[in-house]
Amino acid sequence: MNMTNPPSATAADRDRKAEHIKLALDGRMQGQGGAFAQFEFVHCALPELDLAAIDTTTSFLQKPLAAPLLISCMTGGTEEAARINQNLAEAAQRTGVALGVGSQRKALEDAATRATFEVRDCAPEIVLLANLGAVQLNYGYGVAECRAAVDMIGADALVLHLNPLQEAIQPEGDGNFAELLPQIARLVDELEVPVVVKEVGMGISAPVAAALRGAGVRIIDTAGAGGTNWARIEAERAEDPDIGELFAGWGVPTADSIRAVAALDDVTVVGSGGVRNGIDVAKAIALGADIVGLAYPFLRAAVESADAVEAKVLRTLRELRICMFCTGARTLADLRNVQLIDRGARW
């Protein structure tokens, strides 16, 4: 791809990003059952702990985090998205959690939209993740474009998102997912920062996780089924709600995906997909996640203000701390050894 003369973003591109924000905020596009509803912690009536001693600190990409939280990749490219990303970044800086931006393809193709992603100035210390669609490696993108996305925002890593179902239903979707794995492996070898591979809401299965691990990927984000439903969103945009409902239940449930990825050696697990509160965060960690990603709860807050996002992060952290206290887990390492009762599959 010729980065010195990139194609301009069209009005349709801008409309798509705006529609994604609007539809993602629509409760009909969200999972209703609770991604972790089948699991329960065993209450510990005698935790032998001081609540004030609960320690949620960890590290990610060689940077400290106040809590194992990632504000997951969401948006960019529009005026509203710029305000959302600014609010998310300011809150992440204040609270010491990680942040990923939405797909930067638009910014690479239209320099006028770059500012909607550029949040490093207001969040100089956070873990910040760049983001591109893996499928774009079959549409002219390569190491140079990936490097440009990282450099654009001073990112600590690059997220490559996998979204075959979304692309298949999206009116303007890119459907050529052939031979992506060797290209991902080459990118892992050549890019100066780590590569994170994630789904967008349909989950990473055990075979896919193993294939990614074999390609050298060491950070995998599950983004399992149970949260924002991109089949419904893209079907709504395509004016074909029937296909959205047909595929609404498609995907690997978040809990299953977390356990599948956690079974691999030497892989950092970002557990995401339908995480809505601090108890969900605790359950994700107990299932094997190292870091936990949330999008929808923070998107709703970010539409309002940075203060609202900060309040939501702190509320989630309080919920996590209470959960740790009532299970006798002083640290995140302790939480990973806490018993979870599986009441049976809901899927």
Closest listed residue to residue 199, CA positions, set 108, 106, 135, 264? 135
Confidence at residue 23, expressed as pLDDT on a 0 to 100 scale: 57
What is the per-residue pLDDT across 287-299, written as a single tens digit (0 to 9) for each? 999 999 999 899 9
pLDDT interval class at 14 (50, 70, 90): low
Confidence at residue 229, expressed as pLDDT on a 0 to 100 scale: 82
Could you state, in order of their start, the residue ranges of all structural domains in the chain? Answer: 60-320
**Across 97-126, average pLDDT:** 96
Query: pTM for the full model?
Result: 0.91
Confidence at residue 1, expressed as pLDDT on a 0 to 100 scale: 36
pLDDT exceeds cutoff 70 at 343 = yes
pLDDT exceeds cutoff 90 at 306 = yes
What's the whole-number average pLDDT of the chain?
Answer: 91
Residue 80 to residues 22, 51, 86, 232, 252, Cα–Cα distance (Å): 10, 40, 10, 22, 31
Confidence at residue 12, expressed as pLDDT on a 0 to 100 scale: 53
**Across 163-179, average pLDDT:** 93
pLDDT exceeds cutoff 50 at 262 = yes
pLDDT exceeds cutoff 70 at 154 = yes
Secondary structure of the chain in HEC code, one letter for each residue: CCCCCCCCCCHHHHHHHHHHHHHHCCHHHECCCCCCCCEEECCCCCCCCCHHHCCCCEEECCEEECCCEEECCCCCCCHHHHHHHHHHHHHHHHHCCEEECCCCHHHHHCHHHHHHCCCHHHCCCCCEEEEEEHHHHHCCCCHHHHHHHHHHHCCCEEEEEECHHHHHHCCCCCCCCCCHHHHHHHHHHHCCCCEEEEECCCCCCHHHHHHHHHCCCCEEECCCECCECHHHHHHHHCCCHHHHHHCCCCCCEHHHHHHHHHCCCCCEEEEECCCCCHHHHHHHHHHCCCEEEECHHHHHHHCCCHHHHHHHHHHHHHHHHHHHHCCCCCCHHHHCCCCEEECCCCC
CA distance 298 to 302: 6
pLDDT interval class at 157 (50, 70, 90): very high
The fraction of the chain above a pLDDT of 90, given in percent, is: 78
pLDDT interval class at 227 (50, 70, 90): confident
What is the per-residue pLDDT across 119-142, written as a single tens digit (0 to 9) for each? 999 999 999 999 999 999 999 999
**Across 277-292, average pLDDT:** 98
Determine the topology of domain 60-320 in CATH.
TIM Barrel (3.20.20)
